[in-house]
Structure 1
């Protein structure tokens, strides 16, 4: 795990920002990378109906066009080899039948599959933060799964649901006037994978050019496996004040 975390922290990455209008205060707290909360007001969703959003203009890509993907709600994640659940079932059967040689082989195969899954999710996490760091909307479009089930929660902002609305929120961030690339660091990185779902938790630290202080956010990034590729379906970041 330590090696995986170290590899992630040295990969291109990005962290979220501190809002200029914190939800609990009328004045901005210390930190950097400020984005006015009002910029996201039109994208916020009601807690009683998270997918009911007033649609704004369609998000566009700054350079090039993102590759189209079928909706992940209509696509069954598939892989080229056995999945984790089937291996677990085979392992349980082998143990029940006292076939310990088979059980040992299955246990090794399961361990390799889990390690491969963690590495793949960490790579997807690094791609997401690389897009963030560089303000690259083309890569950001490709990093996310498609469908109404995806959502993002930016610091001091509400939940934004649906692929197009999520992309529009990132467009607002990239058009906010920051000088890219941003200076970022990821700490306390942990990854968990089970079947076709994986998640990464970490402490995001970000500093814009010319700033002497770091913004800190706790983040949870959820990924789903679609046609053998790990894509982000949830990004939730909240301020961390020590």
Structure 2
């Protein structure tokens, strides 16, 4: 299914999964317009890139992705190991992203942990938050994670 078809499906009653697939396809193509079509038309949408500041609003998010695409084209991030919490009007997806980058030493990959939040809006399912954190240079194993204390 093409991105245009997925976005159309999302607009007329598709799923958060459809929007997520369109978001990652737009990243891989470096298509900022298609990427921004995945976002809700709300003032308080936000995005956090690994190690970056919180970007609030469509203009700030668009500008950041235009800058990223302008310095290397597409972002080759492939989602995997999606964990979902869903309800009638919202969905939260925790995603392990494999990011492939071309370095002077050849193609390398790293992993990023991302949380994508979707709301069902009048326009269909749309992303309202994308928060990505640095992962590791190696794919995490399938073993259950040990509990961690945050404070």
**Shorter-chain TM band:** 0.7 to 0.9
Q: Please identify which structure carries the higher helix content.
A: 1
Match of 1:193 in 2: 86
Decide whether the 8 Å contact of 1:122 with 1:191 is kept in 2.
Answer: no
TM superposition shift of 1:185? 2.6
Q: Please identify which structure carries the higher strand content.
A: 2
Decide whether the 8 Å contact of 2:24 with 2:78 is kept in 1.
Answer: no
Decide whether the 8 Å contact of 2:97 with 2:113 is kept in 1.
Answer: yes
Please give the TM-score of this superposition, normalised by the length of structure 2.
0.74
Structure scoring higher RCO (CA < 8 A, sep ≥ 6) equals: 1
2:117 to 206, 212, 222: 222
3-state SS, counterpart of residue 78 of structure 2: strand
1:52-106 deviations in Å (ceiling 9; x for gaps): xxxxxxxxxxxxxxxxxxxxxxxxxxx98xxxxxxxxxxxxxxxxxxxxxxxxxx
Q: 4+ residue runs of structure 1 moved beyond 6 angstroms? A: none
Please give the TM-score of this superposition, normalised by the length of structure 1.
0.47
Within 5 Å, which residues of 2 pair with 1:197-208?
197-208=90-101
Decide whether the 8 Å contact of 2:100 with 2:110 is kept in 1.
Answer: yes
User: What is the alpha-carbon distance in structure 1 between the residues aligned to residue 78 and residue 36 of structure 2?
Assistant: 22
Within 5 Å, which residues of 2 pair with 1:139-158?
139-158=34-53
User: What is the alpha-carbon distance in structure 2 between the residues aligned to residue 205 and residue 152 of structure 1?
Assistant: 18
Match of 1:232 in 2: 127
1:125-164 deviations in Å (ceiling 9; x for gaps): 1111111111101101211112221000000111111111
How many positions carry a matched residue from both structures?
126
Q: Which sections of structure 2, spanning at least 5 residues, go unmatched?
A: 3-11, 139-151
Decide whether the 8 Å contact of 1:122 with 1:200 is kept in 2.
Answer: no
Match of 1:109 in 2: none
What is the aligned-residue RMSD (CA, Å)? 2.3
Decide whether the 8 Å contact of 1:179 with 1:208 is kept in 2.
Answer: no
TM superposition shift of 1:198? 0.8
Q: Which sections of structure 1, spanning at least 5 residues, go unmatched?
A: 1-10, 13-78, 81-118
TM superposition shift of 1:209? 4.4
User: What is the alpha-carbon distance in structure 1 between the residues aligned to residue 128 and residue 111 of structure 2?
Assistant: 22
Decide whether the 8 Å contact of 1:152 with 1:234 is kept in 2.
Answer: yes
